[in-house]
Amino acid sequence: MLRPSGIAPAAAALAWTSRLSVGIALMPVPLRNVALTAMEIATLARLFPGRFLPAVGHGVLDWMGQTGARVESPMTLLREYVQALQSLLAGDRVTCSGRYVTLDDVALDWPPAQVPPLLVGANRPKTLALAGELGDGVVVDVTEHLPRARAAVQEAWATAGKDGEAHVLVFQTVALGTPAEEVLAAVRARVAEGAHRVAITVVGSLGGPPEAGPALLEMIPTLGRVRELLAQSDPA
């Protein structure tokens, strides 16, 4: 199953707005050469500094198999990929010869002046540990997993000797028509569990697939009201 791409709509959303932060969660590493991903992230980060939030991950392994891109060791690929991608975005000239990632004296001509944080989509223990060790944070796609995921990522973060906290983004499912006050309560609950960002996934009814197009647009006034309520309760 191939859904709409991430880079094209992210670029459009960033160009149509002036303050909105836009993320891609996530870019599946088996499908993408790391140099291409570095080029695309760097381009958007230079065009829209401080507003682009990229994420990478294994992707849906069955879908990777359908495209002939599934690898024998997804963890090895992700580790090599994140290390190389971080180095390229930092402006380094990279040479490496791994099991899956091979670069020969590769560097970005135009690395981003402001390198965006690189999140890693993770659920299982080894991937969560990698997100904390090598990434700048984690994308959690199931709210019930948030406390466990945050703890695992932060433990790996601290073990790696990093200061501060790993960035945590979680998806919160909201049914179409949910009042702003209920959405706000859900957002606050995720923040209390350790999320730094809460991405709202709109569904027609709980348990259904994500909505798009006109149905999604119907929720924009509600989300705007949630933003107002947050600002009123926390002016800082």
Extents of the domains making up the chain: 1-116, 121-236
Which range, of 17-26, 42-51, 142-151, 167-176, averages the lowest pLDDT?
17-26
Quote the DSSP letter at residue 101: -
Bridge pairing between strands 167-175 and 52-57: unpaired
Rounding to the nearest 10 degrees, give the CA dihedral for residues 172, 208, 144, 217: 0
* CATH entry, 1-116, from 3.20.20.30, 3.20.20.240, 3.40.630.30, 3.40.50.1820: 3.20.20.30
pLDDT tier at 150, thresholds 50, 70, 90: very high
Neighbours of 84 (CB within 10 A): 24
Mean pLDDT computed over 39-46? 97
Give the 3-state secondary structure of residue 207: coil
Neighbours of 150 (CB within 10 A): 23
Task: Report the pLDDT value the prediction gives residue 162, as an integer from 0 to 100.
Answer: 96
Mean pLDDT computed over 198-208? 86
Bridge pairing between strands 102-106 and 94-97: antiparallel
Mean pLDDT computed over 138-145? 95
> Is 90 exceeded by the pLDDT of residue 31?
yes
Task: Report the pLDDT value the prediction gives residue 210, as an integer from 0 to 100.
Answer: 81
Mean pLDDT computed over 211-229? 83
pLDDT tier at 161, thresholds 50, 70, 90: very high
> Is 80 exceeded by the pLDDT of residue 192?
yes
Task: Report the pLDDT value the prediction gives residue 205, as an integer from 0 to 100.
Answer: 82
For residue 151 the two structure tokens come to 């703890």
Residues present in the chain in total:
236
Task: Report the pLDDT value the prediction gives residue 235, as an integer from 0 to 100.
Answer: 55
Return mean pLDDT, the chain: 93
Higher pLDDT, 18 or 214: 18
Rounding to the nearest 10 degrees, give the CA dihedral for residues 124, 127, 132, 134: 180
Question: What is the C-alpha to C-alpha distance for residues 83 and 161, in angstroms, rounded to an integer?
Answer: 16
pLDDT tier at 236, thresholds 50, 70, 90: low
**∠ CA(102), CA(82), CA(112), 5° rounding?**
95
Rounding to the nearest 10 degrees, give the CA dihedral for residues 121, 74, 8, 54: 40
> Is 80 exceeded by the pLDDT of residue 215?
no
